[in-house]
Structure 1
């Protein structure tokens, strides 16, 4: 061990890397409960749980490198993105976990509240929010629930060459819309959507994917600002919203 590296830290949780071990400190033990159980149930590669002593969870580092990062062009091959699509499909085909996810009514209410906050506080122009709220409407429909990761950013998927070595950060897992996972995974990497869908192996409604891009970005801006992140960085959430105009 040469150093202790802060991977992410904010008021809700922090993740430290100590050698080949990640230490996750979370104020909400329910999130850690879900993360541990989801990793045990998911039929895809996940990190090994080394030990748990609330509020700390220790997991082993997975080999390989992150498939991508929001705001940065991915150097991973089309085959790697397609392989990730196949892994996502395997997760979605698995039996549902025993806990629920976010419901449609709650999601719509959250979206309305965030849109109002963004405009009232002058964070984003009203026309930008209004247009993306209109696009997001296509996601607000009943969906058949599947086992979703819930926060499937491409930086949470690790690859070695074209093979998936691990999928991390399962604290938002639960029942959800398959297209939400696909949209989260391709957010800011629209050019990779075709590769992912090819690997996923079935036709998807691209309008709903686009809707989830808008919806997720609208919901994320306030949280990111309040926790010290920059949604205005090139290629990140605000640029995703602008791309819908």
Structure 2
């Protein structure tokens, strides 16, 4: 009998793997609704949905291996990173999903509140927070929304050789800034930014991508700590923030 492996688990959701099946348990049904609809609409490879019985969604494993992991060197080739960029461009050129996304004004409010808490709770030094808050400002500009994945971590992009075989975890998908997806994909892997942009095939503002690295990391650090993750591990979010100093 296949073993049950815990992929990730915290108070909001858990993902288990049994053989070639992933069982996603989410207390928020709306998130699962978004994931199911986004996978149906996305023009890129996504996992096959096997069945759904709320709060559980069962999906098939996608072939290949993850593009990499945050905090570790990636074994994927430059061509694989470029292929990931091309897949993101295909997604961004698809028709917009019917549900809205977050805009720069809402993000600015969230960011200001989060920065205050990071300093007040002693999670990060005040100068590190202040510097990255200034860097993040460049991301808080008007953008033309696209069909965005919304959580395009490198562990969510699977490749086989130089081909993208699947993109997983669509619960944050919606209308968003295209540069946010590119920034999330390359967070902690700045050395592959050129490959991704080359595959994406469009002019992008690299300063805005770097701003999103700061913004995403600032918003994530406290949540990660509270849910049992270590953003201070080598190459992870705290190191991303320190790099902007």
For the aligned pair, the TM-score class normalised by the smaller chain equals: over 0.9
Q: Could you report, residue by residue, the CA deviation over 1:103-138 in whole angstroms, capped at 9, with x for unpaired residues?
A: 222111110011001101111111000000000000
Deviation for aligned residue 1:59: 0.3
Q: After superposition, where does 1:99-138 map in structure 2 within 5 Å? A: 99-138=99-138
The answer as to 2:149 corresponding to 1:173 is no
**Which consecutive residues of structure 2, in runs of 5 or more, have no partner in the other structure?**
none
Correspondence for 1:153: 153
When the two structures are aligned, how many residues end up with a matched partner?
245
CA RMSD of aligned residues (A): 0.5
Q: Following the alignment from structure 1 to structure 2, what is the Cα–Cα distance between the partners of residues 130 and 137?
A: 11
Q: Following the alignment from structure 2 to structure 1, what is the Cα–Cα distance between the partners of residues 187 and 72?
A: 11
Correspondence for 2:229: 229
**SS in structure 2 at match of 1:44:** coil
Q: Following the alignment from structure 1 to structure 2, what is the Cα–Cα distance between the partners of residues 22 and 231?
A: 25
Correspondence for 1:42: 42
Correspondence for 2:6: 6
Runs of 4 or more, structure 1, over 3 Å off, are none
Q: Following the alignment from structure 2 to structure 1, what is the Cα–Cα distance between the partners of residues 10 and 122?
A: 24
Deviation for aligned residue 1:203: 1.1
Deviation for aligned residue 1:151: 0.1
Correspondence for 2:204: 204
TM-score, L = length of structure 2: 0.99
Q: Following the alignment from structure 1 to structure 2, what is the Cα–Cα distance between the partners of residues 239 and 114?
A: 18
TM-score, L = length of structure 1: 0.99
